[in-house]
Amino acid sequence: MNRLNGKTAVVTGGATGIGRAAAKRFIEEGAFVFIFGRRQDALDAAVADLGTHARAVKGSVSVPADLDRLYAEVKAERGTLDIVFANAGAGSQLPLGEITAEHIDETFDTNVKGAIFTVQKALPLMGVGGSIILTGSSAGTTGAPAMSAYSASKAAVRNLARTWAEDLKGTGIRVNVLSPGATATELAKEALGEEGQKIFASMTPLQRMADPAEIAAAAAFLASPDSSFMTASEVAVDGGLAQL
């Protein structure tokens, strides 16, 4: 398929996991992709795998100057931008009673502030037919034990799409949320271990974790003209976790 032929995309958190899988899928469907992340070694490895239609820019979504540098590179090489996948995210466990201000700041700086400025700074390069995709989470609907900050941040992301769909009226730019459930990324494997992954899989009606490529397929749909009459929507790719 060449649904994204000639399109230019930005994927934050694009060096690993869902972001890297999405970048690969976008390229397979014809796009040129800029991946953005904090670790140079991971970015280098990703570009080596993704090939000549990928570029890597090092930086953090929580630092506005880094985003300015990202979009300056997009403008210099491609001129315009069609797809923004605001995928970078952070989250860790702290139960109520142990939550710290630092924990809140770290989570919201990446998941909320980072998403806001990733999108806002992209808008001057975007036009009719543009697609913005925000990474939500099943936790934004259901909550999750000891994940107050993360769950609340993803609920905020869901509301950003609803609000921005109103703000973007008349521009021809769409904004939607892609909400994965438990996904077998490198980070999940390290954080949960084999036993933890089994527990998360057992909580899901499909009785397994998602492969990142399955989330990437949904991202490609939201990026493409196939979803041209969708905005302010949430697409749950969670194996039914938050749906029952």
The catalytic residues are 150, 154
Burial status of residue 233 (CB atoms within 10 A of its CB: 0-12, 13-18, 19 or more): middle
Residue pair 67/120 in contact (Cβ under 8 Å)? The answer is no
CA-CA distance, 75 to 87, in Å (whole number)? 20
Residue showing tokens 């980072």: 114
C-alpha torsion 230→135→178→46, nearest 10: 110
| DSSP conformation letters of 74-118 | HHHHHS---EEEE-------B-TTS--HHHHHHHHIIIIIHHHHH
Three-state DSSP at 241 gives coil
